[in-house]
Amino acid sequence: MKNLLRILSYIRKYSGIASLNVLFNVLTVVFSLFSVIMIVPFLQLLFGKIPFVVNKPEFHLSAQYILNYLKYALSIEISSNGQLVALVKFCLGIALLFFFKNLFRFLALYFLAPIRSGAVRDIRDELYAKILSLPLSYYSKERKGDIISRLTDDVKEVEISIISFIEVTVREPLNIIIYLAALLMLSPQLTAFVFIMLLITGFIIGRVGKSLKGQSIEAQSVSGRLVSIADETLGGLRIIHAFNAEKFMREQFSKINSEFFSLSRKINTRRELSSPLTEFLAMCVVCSVLYFGGVLVLENKNLAAETFIGFMVLFAQLIPPAKNFSSAWYNIRKGLASAQRIFEVLDAEVKIAEKANAIEIKEFKREIEFKNACFSYHNFDDKKILEGINLKVEKGKMVALVGQSGAGKTTMVDLLPRFYDISDGKILIDGQDIRDYKLNDLRGLFGMVSQESILFNDSVHNNIAFGIENATREQVTEAAKIANAHDFIMKLENAYDSTIGDRGGKLSGGERQRLTIARAVLKNPPILILDEATSSLDSNSEKLVQDALTKLMKGRTTIVIAHRLSTIQYADEIIVMQDGKISERGNHIGLMAKNGIYNKLVELQAF
C-alpha cells in the first residue's frame, strides 16, 4: 500500500487534468445508463406489452418515477407520430446517446494519456538523476544490466500499473456505483443480494492474485541479469571469439533465459486466469441473481416481472466493469513489484553528500594534502585499501604514483574528486577539508585522462566539449590542436561533426586517447590526473599522446599514475605504493640510489 501511495504522488501535479478525466468518465457512464434504461420500456410500449401511460407522473426521487416518466414520454411519442416514426426517432436517439457515450469515453482517455506519460517521465527522470548521484561504490555491488532493467522494464510496468489504477479507481467504480444506485432504486432486496455476491467474488480474485507480486519481483530481477549478460557480451565479443567461449556464453544466457521463461509463464498464467475466472464467477452471480429474483417474482410476488427484466438488463452492465476491475488488479500487483525495485534505487543512500553550508572554491592556490588518510570499500570485508597516507602535492608540481597493481594508486586519486570518501583521516585542498567544499566546485578543479578512453556515441565536437556549456567550434578546434588530434579529425568524413560510434569504436586507441586529452585541455583545470594514460598504446601513438600530455601538463599541478616508469623520470616527486601504504618517496635519481622497490621496478621494465 505504501508503494502504491508513493506512485500516486507522481500523479498529484496532474490533478487538474485528472479532474477532467473523472468528469468525462461520469458523463460516459450516465449516457451509457440512459441508453440501456430506455430500451425495455420502449419495446414494451411499441409492441403493446404494457398499456400507454397518458397521465404525467408526479415527481419524486425514485426509480419508479424515472421509469414511469420514460413510459409517459414514449407513450406520447408513439401515439402522436405512429409506431414507425417513433421507432425511427428512437433508433436515432439511441445512436446519438451511444455517440456521446463514446465521445466522452475518448475524451476521458485523451486526458488520461498526459497523466500516464507525465508520471512515468517524472519517475524516469528522478531515477536517472539518482543513478547519476549515487557513488561509484554502489555500482561495485550492483549489476549494470539490472540497473538498466529498472530504468526501462520496471518503469514500463509501473506505467501499466498507473493506468490500471486510474481506470480502476475512476471509471469502473463510477460504473459500478451508478448502476448499483439504479439497481437499488429498482429493488433494494435484490441489490443487497448482488452486492454480497460481488464481495465474495472480489475476495476470491484477490486470493488468487496474492502471490503475483513476489513472483514479479523475482522475474524482474532475472530480467536484469539477462540484460547484464547481453551488455557484457556486446562489450566482450572480441574476447568471447578469441577464447572460443561462444558455447559457454550461450549456455549461460540460455540458463537464465529459461529461468525467466519459467517465471514469466507462471506470472502470465496467473494473470490470464483473471479473465476466465472473473467471467465464470460473474455467470455464477448471474445465475444466483436469476434464481433469487425469480423467487421474488414467482413466489413472493415482491417484484414485478418487467422490473425484474429491467434489473437484469442493468445488472448485465455491471459484469464488464467487474471483469476489468479484476484484470486491472493483477496489473497493479505486478506494477507494485516493479515499483519496489525502483524505490530500492531511489531510496539508496547517497554517501557522497554535500554539506548544507558547503563553501565555494573557484581556484587552486597552494597545495593538496593527505593527512593520515585511510580507505576501505566495505563491499565484502573491511580490508583497508589505503592506510596512513601522508602526502603533500604543491601547486605546479608533478607527482607520480607507482607500484604494483592493487597497491591503491587509482583509489588514491579517486578520493580527490570525491568519487569515494575516505574512512579516516583528512584530505585537504588549500588547508580545507575537501568534504567542506561544494561538490561541483571541487570536481571543477580536476581534469582526468584515464587508461580507458571514456567516449560517447556522439560527434567529435560534443565529445571534446563534454560538460562545457556553450563551447564554440574555435575553442574545440584549438583544444584538439594542442592534443595533436586536429589532423586526424579533419580526415574523418564529417570532421568535427563525425559520429565516433559506441565508446569511440570507429577510432584507434591513440585517436580516442587524444580526444580525451583535448577534452581535458578545453576544460582547462588547475589540477590534472593522468591514470596510466599511455599504457595501452603502441609506440607511435604513445609518442603523439605523450607530446599532447606534455603540452597539457605545462603550468598545471599533475598527479600521474604510471606503469611505464620511463614517462615519469622527471617528476618532482615519485611515490612508491605497496599494499595501500607509501613505501618509498623521492625523485628518480634518489630512489634509484636507494636500491629499493623502485629500483627493482625499473630493472624489471628494463629487462
For 299-310, how does the pLDDT look when each residue is reduced to its tens digit (9 = 90+)? 766 666 666 776
Do residue 70 and residue 139 come from a single domain? no
Strand order in the sheet with 432-433: 384-394, 367-376, 424-429, 432-433
**In contact, 558 and 545? CB cutoff 8 Å:** no
Report the candidate in 400, 424, 447 with the shortest Cα–Cα distance to residue 584: 400
Apex 528 CA angle, 526 and 530, nearest 5? 175
pLDDT, tens digit, 9 for 90 and up, residues 494-545: 888 888 887 777 888 778 888 888 888 888 888 888 877 665 555 666 677 7
Which residues are CB-contacts of 72 (< 8 A; sequence separation ≥ 6)?
53, 54, 55, 56, 57
**In-domain check, residue 424:** no
pLDDT, tens digit, 9 for 90 and up, residues 275-324: 676 667 777 777 887 787 777 777 766 666 666 776 777 777 777 776 67
Do residue 292 and residue 162 come from a single domain? yes
Give 373's DSSP letter.
Answer: E
Do residue 223 and residue 316 come from a single domain? yes
Query: Is the pLDDT at 328 greater than 60, yes or no?
Result: yes
Look at phi and psi of residue 406 and say left if phi exceeds 0, alpha if psi is from -120 to 50, else beta: left
Q: Domain of 515: which CATH number?
A: 3.40.50.300
300 phi, psi to nearest 5 deg: -80, -20
**In-domain check, residue 496:** yes
Residue type, 416: L
Cell of 65: 418515477
Integer Cα distance of 155 and 149 in angstroms: 9
Do residue 284 and residue 198 come from a single domain? yes
Distances (CA, A) of 404 to 37, 561, 578, 601: 86, 11, 7, 9
**In contact, 329 and 172? CB cutoff 8 Å:** no
User: Which of 476, 491, 524 marks a domain boundary?
Assistant: 524
Cell of 462: 560534443
Do residue 167 and residue 254 come from a single domain? yes
> Which carries the bigger pLDDT value, residue 407 or residue 72?
407
Do residue 90 and residue 238 come from a single domain? no
| Residue 510, number of CB atoms within 10 A of its CB | 23
**In-domain check, residue 412:** no
Do residue 78 and residue 199 come from a single domain? no
Q: Domain of 243: which CATH number?
A: 1.20.1560.10
pLDDT, tens digit, 9 for 90 and up, residues 222-255: 776 777 777 667 666 666 666 666 777 778 778 8
Report the candidate in 337, 346, 316 with the shortest Cα–Cα distance to residue 127: 346
User: Which of 111, 126, 142 marks a domain boundary?
Assistant: 111
Do residue 104 and residue 144 come from a single domain? no
Integer Cα distance of 366 and 361 in angstroms: 13
Integer Cα distance of 479 and 520 in angstroms: 8
**In-domain check, residue 605:** no
Query: Is the pLDDT at 270 greater than 80, yes or no?
Result: no
User: Which of 524, 557, 573 marks a domain boundary?
Assistant: 524
Distances (CA, A) of 389 to 11, 44, 164, 195, 577: 51, 96, 57, 74, 10
pLDDT, tens digit, 9 for 90 and up, residues 169-216: 667 777 777 777 777 777 778 778 877 877 777 677 666 655 555 556
Number of structural domains in the chain: 3
Do residue 79 and residue 189 come from a single domain? no
Range of the domain at 459: 447-524
**In-domain check, residue 408:** no
| Residue 231, number of CB atoms within 10 A of its CB | 14
**In-domain check, residue 42:** yes
Residue 519 C-alpha from the chain's centroid: 30
Do residue 231 and residue 340 come from a single domain? yes
End-to-end CA distance of the chain: 68
Do residue 107 and residue 146 come from a single domain? no
